[in-house]
Amino acid sequence: MSVPETATTFIPLSAPEIRGNAWRYVKECLDTGWVSSVGEYVNRFEGMITEAVGAPAAVATCNGTSALHIALLVSGVRPGDEVLVSTLTFIAPVNAIRYVGAWPVLIDAERQFWQMDPEELRDFLKNNCQYSQGELRNRKSGRPVRAILPVHILGHPAEMHAILSIAGEFGLAVIEDATECLGAKYRGVNVGSTGQIACFSFNGNKIITTGGGGAIVTSNLEWATKARYLTTQAKDDSIEFVHGEIGYNYRLTNIQAALGCAQLEMLAEYIEKKRAIAARYQEALHEIPGVTLMREAPWARSIFWMYTILIEEEQFGMSARAALNKLASKGIQTRPLWQPMHLSPAHRDCEAFRCETADWLHARALSLPCSVGLAESDQDFVIESLRSLSSSSKHRLEHRSTPRAIFSDVQRG
Ligand SMILES: Cc1ncc(COP(=O)(O)O)c(C=O)c1O
């Protein structure tokens, strides 16, 4: 198949999919004047999140970053504490740790599923920390280690049994960043329901969107009450304007929640669509030399929120960055993974514990268009464009192998 020079229209990386009751619900807010941070849709949205995640309580917030900030506060992280967090992540959770005056310690990713590496976590706690003055402290900094913040990246869960068991062993809180993982399963249960507290985001590129929005889910009802209090300016008396402490204006508005309710009604369908997109990529790309496909662990059900491959320059014929530029010139939007946090100028003063795998992944990763509404013809164009970029068709033919089961442990490159 010859590949046209450019796509007939621009193919975005991940566009929101607004369908169903969105217009009806939002119009109702406009018609009734319930547009701000109080209203029936906020309550309904929190109820729907509770149900979708299978957690006892949910508190809606104005975005995922604020959800993380509040989750850290209610789970007891204090100024001067340390929090062990994935280095391979979007910057928001690491910023949130700094908002509370705590210090991130950056932990590497594992190579198979690209999530926080529990072995590195244990290694750091065992060998770089000790109990002193009644607390677990980082030997080097002397600061108390308070919590672990694993980030479930790209729609796939981290190994939570291992992380929770390490947390139990060392007496640490676990705050999950599940912002990219709504609807994913870990060992048969919903991501965000295995630990005590987790956060979601509903910004424009997430599997469902409220325009901007987030949620804290928790099994601790006291934390839920405290989170609701802190996100509404810590208001004790709304008539006399008495505020018990320094709070935040972090609530979701009724308009956003209305959109969120309509979006949540579509969640199951959107997940199926994301999985179908992933399956088509797996099927089509597995034979390209130098391409490593995104994997799904046998214990996981990924939502493939952001379909990502690794490109090995030598076999593929060009680097992931060069491929990004070539694809952009054809009207295809792709993107690399985030600069790992140990390289970020914003967090260069934080401790990083051996982050080689994150560097390795960062150099190779390329996220491909995977909007819920991606047309098959557009996906075919992406696939054919990637094939044509691959340096040597001869090499490709020599290495052709029988396609394996779509979600088996296929790894190449
Ligand atoms: C891993 C991760 N954490 C946190 C956030 C922050 O969410 P928000 O943009 O809603 O503040 C995002 C997404 O933006 C994210 O991808």
What domains are there in the chain, each with its CATH number? 22-264 (3.40.640.10), 267-398 (3.90.1150.10)
Atom number in ligand 1 closest to CA 213: 10
**pLDDT at residue 413 tops 70:** no
* Ligand 1 center–CA 212 separation, angstroms: 10
**pLDDT at residue 402 tops 90:** no
**CA 252/CA 22 separation, integer angstroms:** 16
* Percent of the chain's residues with pLDDT above 70: 94
- Number of other CB atoms surrounding residue 238 within 10 Å: 9
What residues flank ligand 1, with Cβ below 6 Å? 63-65, 89-90, 92-93, 151, 177, 179-180, 201, 203, 214
* Ligand 1 center–CA 178 separation, angstroms: 9
Q: Nearest-CA neighbor of 153 among 99, 101, 117, 102? A: 117
**CA 99/CA 379 separation, integer angstroms:** 40
Pocket test for ligand 1, best of 13, 65, 182, 207 (most atoms within 8 A of CB): 65
Nearest Cα residue to atom 1 of ligand 1 = 90
Distance of CA 63 to the CA centre of its chain: 13
Pocket test for ligand 1, best of 179, 181, 191 (most atoms within 8 A of CB): 179
* Ligand 1 center–CA 206 separation, angstroms: 9
Q: Which of 80-94, 283-297, 299-313, 391-405 has the lowest mean pLDDT?
A: 391-405
DSSP 147-213: EEE-B--TT----HHHHHHHHHHHT-EEEEE-TT-TT-EETTEETTSSSSEEEEE--TTSSS--SS-
Residue 9: its pLDDT value, please? 86
C-beta of residue 218 within 8 angstroms of C-beta of residue 197: yes
* Percent of the chain's residues with pLDDT above 90: 91
Residue 95: its pLDDT value, please? 98
Atom number in ligand 1 closest to CA 96: 4
* Ligand 1 center–CA 389 separation, angstroms: 32
* Ligand 1 center–CA 90 separation, angstroms: 7
- pLDDT tens profile 118-157: 999 999 999 999 999 889 999 999 999 999 999 999 999 9
**pLDDT at residue 405 tops 60:** no
Residue 13: its pLDDT value, please? 98
Residue 5: its pLDDT value, please? 75
**CA 170/CA 394 separation, integer angstroms:** 54
Pocket test for ligand 1, best of 90, 210, 306, 335 (most atoms within 8 A of CB): 90
**pLDDT at residue 278 tops 80:** yes
Partnered with residue 86 across adjacent β-strands are: 107
* Ligand 1 center–CA 171 separation, angstroms: 27
* Ligand 1 center–CA 394 separation, angstroms: 42
- pLDDT tens profile 329-384: 999 999 999 999 999 999 999 999 999 999 999 999 999 999 999 999 999 999 99
* Ligand 1 center–CA 211 separation, angstroms: 13
Nearest Cα residue to atom 8 of ligand 1 = 64
pLDDT-based confidence at residue 410 (cuts at 50, 70, 90): very low
C-alpha pair distances (Å), 410 with each of 50, 119, 202, 309: 35, 23, 31, 12
pLDDT-based confidence at residue 48 (cuts at 50, 70, 90): very high
Atom number in ligand 1 closest to CA 153: 1
* Ligand 1 center–CA 86 separation, angstroms: 14
Atom number in ligand 1 closest to CA 203: 10
**CA 119/CA 163 separation, integer angstroms:** 9
**CA 271/CA 180 separation, integer angstroms:** 12
* Ligand 1 center–CA 339 separation, angstroms: 15
